[in-house]
């Protein structure tokens, strides 16, 4: 769990997937409300997934008298492909019913970044902001709290897009992308290490946006780690092999330090590449299942290939089940799901 103040607004970065998440969200709002008696009555949820647990947290806060505002861009577009899609549709309908005009849930095709769903400073007097713990959640929360810069919305869309585009924004955006790419891998023996490093990165980046020279120097010092990861990625790209027509795979399980964006970009340049696959020993699925396959559709084929169709419709997005899929062009699976479902489906494309 990551939390700090942005422009004096308390922000909690968390995903609403578990009962513990619900408890953390509600307790966070209660605590900051008790210590900020002069603030308004609203709580903003932004870039948080539409899950049963998110609905539960929203309902509890509403029952305690808080005004909850919900803004997100993960509405299921088109026919639902998985059990997760169907559950998300039900949760979206429930949120709209609960919140009325205070609920704005749209799709990524219209709003590729959640920062476009708020005005600068629109929630600078909020009791709290609840946001997804990624770059999109950070930029959206920052803008909502009253801190912005020219090009933020365009940067946020790239930061929340495919890996190969994430470092292609403005100079300040690139520092955030490189910092995220250089975070330590999740270690079950020290589960808080990555989270603490991510929190410090987020704090430093928000300060750098506001002109803090010390924070800027801190971010720039971390670029050396990213540069080393890029060099490893360049070498890994040379080991690529075809596992299905138009599907290129690199096994990076022996390389804990590499940059997914660079590697994906190099693989997309190979003749006929439609889908890139990186087999890795780090990531949320790898932490639970030892190995993770990360798949991405090359940009020019994203309108033609939906990754969710590679799995049976009963699957839901959950690292514990070996599947993460929130958008049509990205998919992460365990070794078991790769062998049983994904690879056979790819070979039939």
Whether 195 is covered by a domain: the verdict is no
On the question of pLDDT at 163 being above 90, the answer is no
Instruction: Verify that 254 and 335 share a domain, yes or no.
Output: yes
d(CA 3, CA 328): 30
Q: What is the pTM of this model?
A: 0.86
For the segment 137-147, the average pLDDT, to the nearest whole number, is 98
List the one residue out of 140, 145, 143, 181 whose CA is nearest residue 157.
140
d(CA 159, CA 153): 10
Domain boundary, last residue among 106, 138, 156: 156
Contact yes or no for 90/51 (Cβ under 8 A): no
The total number of structural domains in the chain stands at 2
Instruction: Verify that 152 and 7 share a domain, yes or no.
Output: yes
On the question of pLDDT at 37 being above 70, the answer is no
Instruction: Verify that 144 and 23 share a domain, yes or no.
Output: yes
Instruction: Verify that 151 and 232 share a domain, yes or no.
Output: no
Do the strands 67-72 and 103-105 form a parallel or antiparallel pair, or are they unpaired?
parallel
Read off the pLDDT of residues 198-241 as tens digits, 9 standing for 90 and up: 999 999 999 999 999 999 999 999 899 999 999 999 999 999 99
Q: What is the CATH number of the domain that holds 40?
A: 3.90.190
On the question of pLDDT at 105 being above 90, the answer is yes
Instruction: Verify that 6 and 150 share a domain, yes or no.
Output: yes
Whether 36 is covered by a domain: the verdict is yes
d(CA 326, CA 74): 8
Read off the pLDDT of residues 302-315 as tens digits, 9 standing for 90 and up: 989 999 999 998 88
Instruction: Verify that 151 and 6 share a domain, yes or no.
Output: yes
Do the strands 292-297 and 330-334 form a parallel or antiparallel pair, or are they unpaired?
antiparallel
Domain boundary, last residue among 99, 126, 156: 156
Whether 137 is covered by a domain: the verdict is yes
d(CA 46, CA 290): 31
Instruction: Verify that 14 and 145 share a domain, yes or no.
Output: yes
**3-state SS class at 173:** helix
Q: Could you count the other beta carbons within 10 Å of the beta carbon of residue 78?
A: 11
Provide the residue range defining the domain that includes 279: 228-348
d(CA 322, CA 288): 8
Domain boundary, last residue among 96, 127, 156: 156
pLDDT band at 188 (very low <50, low <70, confident <90, very high): low
pLDDT of residue 38: 62
d(CA 279, CA 251): 5
Instruction: Express as a percent the part of the chain with pLDDT over 90.
Output: 81
- 157-170 burial code (b ≥16 CB/10 A, e <16): bbbbbbbbbbbebe
Instruction: Verify that 29 and 131 share a domain, yes or no.
Output: yes
As a whole number of angstroms, the longest Cα–Cα distance in the chain is: 61
């Amino acid at each position: 769990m990551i939390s700090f103040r942005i422009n004096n607004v308390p922000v909690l970065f968390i995903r609403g997937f578990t009962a513990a998440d619900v408890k953390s969200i509600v307790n966070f709002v209660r605590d900051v409300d008790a210590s900020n008696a002069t603030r308004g009555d609203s709580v903003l949820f932004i870039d948080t997934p539409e899950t049963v647990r998110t609905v539960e947290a929203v309902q509890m806060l509403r029952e305690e008298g808080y005004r909850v505002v919900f803004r997100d861009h993960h509405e299921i577009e088109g026919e639902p492909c998985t059990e997760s899609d169907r559950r998300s549709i039900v949760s979206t309908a429930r949120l709209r019913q609960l919140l009325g005009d205070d609920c704005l849930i749209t799709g990524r095709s219209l709003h590729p970044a959640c920062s476009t769903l708020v005005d600068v400073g629109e929630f600078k007097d909020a009791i709290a902001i609840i946001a997804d713990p990624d770059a999109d959640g950070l930029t959206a929360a920052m803008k909502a709290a009253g801190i912005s810069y020219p090009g933020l919305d365009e940067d946020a869309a790239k930061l929340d897009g495919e890996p190969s585009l994430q470092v292609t924004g403005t100079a300040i955006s690139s520092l955030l992308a490189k910092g995220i790419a250089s975070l330590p891998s999740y270690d079950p023996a020290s589960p808080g290490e990555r989270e603490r490093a991510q929190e410090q990165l987020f704090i430093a980046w928000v300060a750098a946006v506001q002109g803090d020279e010390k924070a800027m120097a801190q971010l720039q010092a971390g670029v050396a780690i990213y540069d080393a990861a890029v060099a490893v990625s360049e070498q890994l790209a040379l080991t690529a092999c075809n596992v299905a027509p138009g599907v290129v795979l690199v096994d990076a399980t022996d390389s804990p330090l590499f940059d997914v964006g660079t590697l994906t970009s190099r693989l997309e340049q190979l003749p006929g590449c439609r889908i890139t696959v990186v087999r890795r020993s780090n990531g949320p699925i790898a932490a639970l299942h030892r190995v993770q396959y990360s798949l991405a559709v090359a940009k020019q084929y994203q309108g033609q290939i939906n990754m969710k169709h590679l799995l049976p419709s009963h699957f839901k997005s959950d690292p514990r089940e070996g599947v993460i899929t929130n958008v049509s062009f990205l998919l992460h699976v365990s070794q078991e799901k790769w062998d049983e479902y994904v690879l056979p489906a790819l070979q039939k494309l």
